[in-house]
Each structure stands twice: as structure tokens, then as C-alpha cells.
Amino acid sequence: MSPSTYDTRRGPQWRVAGVWSAGFVAVLWLSEIIDTALGNRLDAEGIRPGSTDGLSGILFAPLLHGGFGHLIANTVPLLVLGFLVLLSGLRQWVAVTAGVWLIGGVGTWLFGGIGTVHIGASGVVFGWLAYLVVRGVFTRQPWQILLGIAVFLVYGGALWGVFPGQPGISWQGHLFGAVGGIVVAWMLADRGAVRRNA
């Protein structure tokens, strides 16, 4: 689907993408407002590596942040990258986001430090980023390749965040979120090729 697609029921795809991107970020802000009102008690529901109780954090961690500063740092990348993924359609966005969410969460649970708690949507940011950068390599669609190059030029420096570095930053979440984005890009491109050859 090209970025100029028009859905007669919903309007231009860019408008749909903007609404859903803003809506997703609004959910994160609402979650943080609720968490703050509860004295940040929800932050304990993040991913706790190696703990069976911490498995539920795979579902909840991207919805939680360590304060508004943490959420603000993620907001613009979430809006921009989410919008770009959504230009390919809501169904594609759901597939990409679910894959990144799951792979990033499981990877963090398996390889994160024992006794740590991992929260935040940074893994989703890194997953969307990696997906957009490599998608064109798998699909060989010219506009997706050009978009991937543009995204890399703007956000590529952030990919250093997949390596251990600053204390208190979940590089595992970044790394496995990015891995999830690459895996999903490959899987979706492969399925698309199968449909075209059927």
C-alpha cells in the first residue's frame, strides 16, 4: 500500500495515521497520569527478568514510564515513527507493533538483569525504527527503501542505544525491540511475496 492511499470510509491514509498515532500516545499519557495519581505503584508491574511473576510485565511494560520526563523523551519518536508505520495501514501497524512488543518483551525477560524492572515504550520505538529502516531491503519497494534511508539519517544515531551504556537505561529493551522490528519486517515481506506468487 502506498502512502497516498485513500480510504473512502475514513479519509486519506495520512489522516488515519495521524489520528491513530496520536491516540496511541494519548493512551500512554493517560497511563502515566493514572500511575502518578497512584504514587507510581504501577511501575512495579514492568518486566522483571527471570521471574515468573514478571512475565506479565511483557504486556504492561510499554504502557508504563518512570515519570513524565521519561514519557516526554519517547513521545516525539512514538508520534513520528508510529505515523510512518501507520501509512501502510492499521492492520500492518497492529502486526508490527504486536511483534515488536512480544519479541522485545520476551528478549528483555530472558536477558535482562536479575532484580531489575524494565518499563517504557522505548523498545517499541526501537522496533518501529528498525522495521522502517530495513523493511525496504526485504520488500524491494523503492519508496520504502527511500523512507528507510531518511529515517536512518534522522534517527540512526539512536541505534547506539542497543548497546550497554548509561545506568538505568534498558539497553536490553532497545536491543530486542530492534530485533523484533527486523524479524517482523522479514516475516511480513515474506508473506507478501507468498501472496503475490499464489
In a domain, 69, yes or no: yes
In a domain, 79, yes or no: yes
Close Cβ partners of 90 (under 8 Å, ≥ 6 residues apart): 16, 20
* Mean predicted confidence (pLDDT) in 2-13: 54
Q: What is the CATH number of the domain that holds 10?
A: 1.20.1540.10
Domain total of the chain: 1
Percent of the chain whose predicted confidence (pLDDT) is above 70: 90
pLDDT of res. 120: 95
Q: Over the range 62-80, which residues count as b (16 or more CB within 10 Å of their CB) and which as e?
A: bbbbbeeebbeebbebbeb
What whole-number distance in Å separates Cα of residue 177 and Cα of residue 181? Answer: 6
In a domain, 96, yes or no: yes
What percentage of the chain's residues is helix, strand, coil (to nearest 5)?
Answer: 75, 5, 20
At 54-94, the pLDDT tens digits run 899 999 999 999 999 999 999 999 999 999 999 999 999 99
pLDDT of res. 166: 74
Task: Kindly report the pTM of this predicted structure.
Answer: 0.88
In a domain, 1, yes or no: no
pLDDT of res. 4: 44
Range of the domain at 148: 6-197
In a domain, 124, yes or no: yes
In a domain, 188, yes or no: yes
In a domain, 190, yes or no: yes
What nine digits make up the cell of 167? 545506568
At 123-149, the pLDDT tens digits run 999 999 999 999 999 999 999 999 999
